[in-house]
Each structure stands twice: as structure tokens, then as C-alpha cells.
Amino acid sequence: SQQGEEDPQALSIQEGENATMNCSYKTSINNLQWYRQNSGRGLVHLILIRSNEREKHSGRLRVTLDTSKKSSSLLITASRAADTASYFCATAPLGSARQLTFGSGTQLTVLP
Amino acid sequence: NAGVTQTPKFRVLKTGQSMTLLCAQDMNHEYMYWYRQDPGMGLRLIHYSVGEGTTAKGEVPDGYNVSRLKKQNFLLGLESAAPSQTSVYFCASSPMTSGRAWNTGELFFGEGSRLTVL
């Protein structure tokens, strides 16, 4: 079963706009991670946020985590055409040592 | 610096045939994983390994076997391929994390192996 579920499944925006993707999960976690996948390629790690953190930044990326609601969001500011990709959240559940459970992803299209 | 390398990248099998996917990592990572990716379902964990000589089942292990005889290699085998195993397979590795033993860190992925079973 999928631990994380992303919303929306697909998102299309204009270059320069901000993109927000959401992730909900079911069980308590150790950390939550976001990955990016370009078409036909492997996944690339973007950012990791621990369960005791509420917000984290990396360049144009901002991730928030609300453990009370079991949800996270990924914000990409000032998007570029090169940001077009699928974005996945992945959770490291408590008690499931060294495993990550992935959601089904959000397909982001940034139009030039 | 190759990172995680998967071979082969593409393969077509007939139902009932067997094959092995090879994953090699040159980062001296302790943990290695095999996932499959199907449309609309994200990635699902097949098997994983927390060290040389050890393997464990993931979410969808049936029909697959794995071996980790060397720290840098993780092999995924299909003994009798079925059309339901048509998928893209991803290998990933992860370093041992400091601090709490149960903390799962960043995964480094290969480029994938696309398998079609006819």
C-alpha cells in the first residue's frame, strides 16, 4: 500500500510562477523526503525533513511538515521550464528501519 | 564517479524465462534497494539489503529473489518471468546514517532497467 499520496496528480503552470505540491501519509514517520524524476531517468533526492522539523529550505525549494496532520508540502518558487518533472514524496516510517515508501507522484509541467 | 549503475537498461523476455538484473554502486554504501515503478503507482519496494550477505523482503517480493554477495553489488533475479512483472526496475543505495540506527537517509538511484515480459 502507498504510504504517501501526492496532490495534485498533475500540475501545469507558467514559467516564473510558484508550484506547490502536497503529500499526505498515514503512519508516524522518522523523516520525509522529496525526490524529482525527469522523464525516463532515475530519481534524484531534493530535500529531507526530519519529524522534529517544521520547515526547510534549499535554494528555490521550501518544504513544510505538519506531523499532526500527517502532511507535507513542497514549494518551488520562480519555476523554470527545466523544473518540468515528476515529484515524489517518500516517508521513512517509524519501526520500518531503513526503508522508504514512495507516493504516486505529481507530474509538474512548466510552460515557457 | 559512476554512482549506481544498472545493467541491462532494456530487456524483453518471454513468459517463463529467467533473468538477473545487476546493480553496482561505487560509493561504499551499506544499504541497497530494488524498487519497481508502474504507471500511476509510484515506486514499490521489492527487496532490500542492509549489508553484505543480508537481504530482506519489501512490499512486493513475490516472484523475485535477490543476493548481496559483495557489498557493492545487489542482484535481482526473476526465476520464471510473468507479464505482471513488466515494469521499470530501479536500484538505489544509501549510506549508513549516524545517530539513530533506524534513520533512513537519502537514496541514490540508478537510471532504471526497463523489462517487458511477453
CB distance A42–B101 less than 8 Å? no
What's the whole-number mean pLDDT along residues B74-83?
97
Number of domains observed in the structure of chain B: 1
Give CA–CA dist B96/B52, Å, rounded: 13
CB distance B42–A103 less than 8 Å? yes
- The confidence score (pLDDT) of residue A7 equals 86
Domain that holds residue B31: 4-95+108-112
Domain CATH number, residue A84 = 2.60.40.10
Q: Examine residue B63 and state whether it is found in any structural domain, yes or no.
A: yes
Domain CATH number, residue B27 = 2.60.40.10
Chain A nearest-CA residue for B90: A42
Q: Examine residue B49 and state whether it is found in any structural domain, yes or no.
A: yes
- The confidence score (pLDDT) of residue A55 equals 97
Nearest CB to A41: which of B40, B43, B111?
A: B111
The number of residues in chain B equals 118
Average pLDDT, 10 consecutive residues per value, chain A (112 residues) = 75 97 92 94 95 95 97 97 96 78 94 93
Summarize pLDDT for B34-78 with one digit per residue, the tens: 999 998 778 999 999 989 999 999 999 999 999 999 999 999 999
- The confidence score (pLDDT) of residue B105 equals 80
Contacts B36 to A, Cβ<8 Å: none
The dihedral through the CA atoms of A38, A39, A41, A43 has a sign that is positive
Give CA–CA dist B80/A29, Å, rounded: 36
- The confidence score (pLDDT) of residue B101 equals 47
**Residue B1, pLDDT above cutoff 80:** no
Number of domains observed in the structure of chain A: 1
Q: Does A112 touch chain B (CB under 8 A)?
A: no
Buried b (16+ CB within 10 A) or exposed e, A47-64: bbbeeeeeebeeeebbbb
Give CA–CA dist B103/B115, Å, rounded: 32
Domain that holds residue A42: 4-111
CB distance A42–B45 less than 8 Å? no
